[in-house]
Amino acid sequence: MSRLTAFDSSTLSASARNAIAFEKLTGHSMSILFDGGLARAYVWSSINAEEMTRDLLRLLPNTDWIASTCAAALCTSPCTDLISADLSGRVRTMGPRNRMLAIEVLIKTSQDQPSAIVLQFGSADPMTRAIAAACAGEMVNDPSSAAVLEAAFSDPNKWVQYYARHFLDARAAPSDLVRLGSSVLALPSEPWQCLRCRTLNTVDRSSCTQCNVVGPDLEASVQKLAKP
């Protein structure tokens, strides 16, 4: 899963520098991680998995596509204890975009994903709740994940409401859950944070006041569920 990829020129040049740094750091080409843009699940059997996991964890607080690719690869790593021990402590120091990727990795590498989703959704941090809601959308037939989505549909934060709907597959979800998501039960009230520059924007803003990056389009996500 790679939810958070976006490009601009500064990101691209930073990414090129990071790709070179990755080769120096690990002795591997970045291509070891790719297969048509997706992380290779089978890579773990042919390398030192612990060493690669540590390298990927060091690269996670990075620019967009590298962080997204590292997160996708980490989600398939067999070294789940190492990931949990490393990320649990420092995830709160990351910016919103990387923090979401890290939370996704923690959920996807958990032995009990439904419980991990519930745990993360209990966070006071809206971006943590948003990615927990997105992960719940992939486990809609689990009762605890469905309960998380129900709560997320009327969360005070716009990102949470958006992520709960945008990543929910209406064809796979129970029809009453889809009906619930296709209406807005409670308008979000908290300022939403820009994923790029971290500015807090008032709930009526559709794009960031500082950098113009588009924010959560709640209306579009509601429409998506109403007309799948």
Residues contributing to the site for Zn ion (CB under 5 A): 194, 196-197, 199, 208, 210-211, 213
CB of 94 to Zn ion, least distance (A): 16
Of residues 38 and 197, the one with the C-beta less far from Zn ion: 197
* Nearest distance from C-beta of residue 215 to Zn ion, angstroms: 9
Taking the least distance from each CB to Zn ion, the nearer of 131 and 194 is: 194
Compute the least distance from the CB of residue 205 to Zn ion, in Å.
Answer: 10
Q: Which is nearer to Zn ion, 41 or 214 (CB)?
A: 214
Identity of the residue, 167 or 192, whose beta carbon is nearer to Zn ion in the bound complex: 192
* Shortest CB 192 distance to Zn ion, Å: 10
Three-state secondary structure of the chain: CCCCCCCCHHHHHHHHHHHHHHHHHHCCCHHHHEECCEECHHHHHHCCHHHHHHHHHHHCCCCHHHHHHHHHHHCCCCCHHHHHHHHHHHHHHCCHHHHHHHHHHHHHCCCCHHHHHHHHHCCCCHHHHHHHHHHHCCCCCCHHHHHHHHHHCCCCCHHHHHHHHHCCCCCCCCHHHHHHHCCCCCCCCCCEECCCCCCEECCCCCECCCCCCECCCHHHHHHHHHCC
